[in-house]
Amino acid sequence: MEGTSPDRISVGSAPKKSSSSSRGRQRKFSSSTCKDFLREFVDNELLTSSLEDWFSGHSEDCGFRKPAFDVPFDLTELQNFDYALEGVTFQQLVRMPNALHASASEVFEATAYLALEDFLHACIKGLWETFWGPDEAMPFSVACVHSTSSKFYPAEKAISSGKLDGVCATAVLRKNSKHTQGRWDHIVVLALLRPDIGMVSAQGDQEPSPAVLGEALFFALRVLLSRSLSRSSTVLRNSDCVYLLLVDSQFGGVVKVQGDLNKLDFNLNNVYNCAADWIKNHAKITVSSVDRVWNKLGNANWGDVGTLQVLLAIFHSMIQFCGEPKYSLDELATEHSSRLQSRRSERHLDRQANGNGLFQFQQRSRSPEIVEVQEEATVNVKPQETLKLEIGSVVLMEDAYCQKGFQINDILADSDPPIYNCTPVEEPTKTYLLYVGSSPSHLEPAWEDMNSWYQVQRQTKVLTLMKQRGISSRYIPQMVASGRVAHPGPCNKPSSSGSCGHPWCSTPILVTSPVGETISNLIRNGLFGVEEALRCCHDCLSALSAAASAGIRHGDIRPENLIRVSNGSRHPYFVLTGWGHAILEDRDRPVMNLFFSSTFALQEGKLCAASDAESLIYLLYFSCGGVCPELDSVESALEWRETSWSRRVIQQKLGDVSAVLKAFADYVDSLCGTPYSMDYEIWLRRLRRTINEDHGKEIDTSS
- 449 and 538 in a single domain? The answer is no
Confidence (pLDDT) at 494:
59
Confidence (pLDDT) at 146:
82
- 298 and 444 in a single domain? The answer is no
Task: Report how many domains make up the chain.
Answer: 3
CATH of the domain at 626: 1.10.510.10
Among 515, 540, 555, identify where a domain stops. Answer: 515
CA angle at 290 for the pair 286 and 295, rounded to the nearest 5°:
145
- 625 and 612 in a single domain? The answer is yes
- 218 and 324 in a single domain? The answer is yes
Q: State the 10-residue block means of pLDDT for the chain, 703 residues long.
A: 39 33 53 88 92 76 56 89 85 73 60 91 94 90 81 85 84 84 89 81 67 93 90 80 93 94 91 94 92 84 90 95 88 71 53 36 38 41 58 85 88 78 92 85 48 89 93 94 79 63 77 94 92 96 95 94 86 94 90 93 91 96 91 90 92 93 93 86 94 54 37
Q: What share of the chain is helix, strand, coil (3-state, %, to 5)?
A: 40, 15, 45
Which residue range forms the structural domain that includes residue 143? 8-330
- 573 and 662 in a single domain? The answer is yes
Of 83, 150, 151, 142, nearest in space to 116 by CA:
142
Task: Judge whether 587 lies within some domain.
Answer: yes
- 451 and 500 in a single domain? The answer is yes
Task: Judge whether 347 lies within some domain.
Answer: no
- 419 and 446 in a single domain? The answer is yes
Task: Judge whether 145 lies within some domain.
Answer: yes
- 169 and 212 in a single domain? The answer is yes
- Reported pTM: 0.50
Burial grade of 446 (CB within 10 A; 0-12, 13-18, 19 or more): exposed
Taken in order 402, 403, 408, 411, the sign of the CA dihedral is positive
CATH of the domain at 477: 3.30.200
Confidence (pLDDT) at 513:
94
- 168 and 227 in a single domain? The answer is yes
Among 480, 499, 515, identify where a domain stops. Answer: 515
Task: Judge whether 18 lies within some domain.
Answer: yes
- 20 and 153 in a single domain? The answer is yes
Cβ neighbours for 310, distance < 8 A, ≥ 6 positions apart: 123, 245, 247, 252, 254, 293
Pairing of strands 419-424, 403-412: antiparallel
Task: Judge whether 340 lies within some domain.
Answer: no
> What does the DSSP assignment read for 631-674?
--SHHHHHHHHHHHHHTTHHHHHHHHH-HHHHHHHHHHHHHTTS
- 319 and 428 in a single domain? The answer is no
CB 239 within 8 A of CB 18: no
CA angle at 312 for the pair 306 and 316, rounded to the nearest 5°:
150
Task: Judge whether 377 lies within some domain.
Answer: no
Task: Judge whether 337 lies within some domain.
Answer: no
Among 515, 546, 573, identify where a domain stops. Answer: 515
Task: Judge whether 75 lies within some domain.
Answer: yes
- 408 and 313 in a single domain? The answer is no
Residue 331: enclosing H or E segment and its boundaries? helix 329-346
